[in-house]
Amino acid sequence: MPNIKSAKKRVLQTEKRQVRNQARRSAIKTSVKKVIAALETQNIEAAKKLFIEAESKLARAKGKGLFHANTAARKISRLAKKVAAASTIATA
Side-chain half-sphere exposure of 10, counting CA atoms within 13 A: 7
Identify which of 81, 83, 75 has the alpha carbon closest to the alpha carbon of residue 57. Answer: 75
Predicted confidence at residue 47, as pLDDT, reads: 96
* Residue 72: closest CA among 85, 84, 60, 88: 60
Q: How far apart are CA 86 and CA 88, in angstroms?
A: 6
Class of domain 5-91: mainly alpha
Give yes or no for a contact between 63 and 72, defined as CB atoms under 8 angstroms apart. no
| Residue 85: band (very low, low, confident or very high) from pLDDT cuts 50, 70, 90 | very high
Q: Is residue 50 scored above 80 in pLDDT? A: yes
The radius of gyration computed from the CA coordinates of the chain, to the nearest angstrom, equals: 18
Q: pTM score, two decimals?
A: 0.87
Q: What is the mean pLDDT of residues 81-86?
A: 95
For the stretch 14-33, pLDDT in tens is 999 999 999 999 999 999 99
In the chain, where are the structural domains located? Answer: 5-91
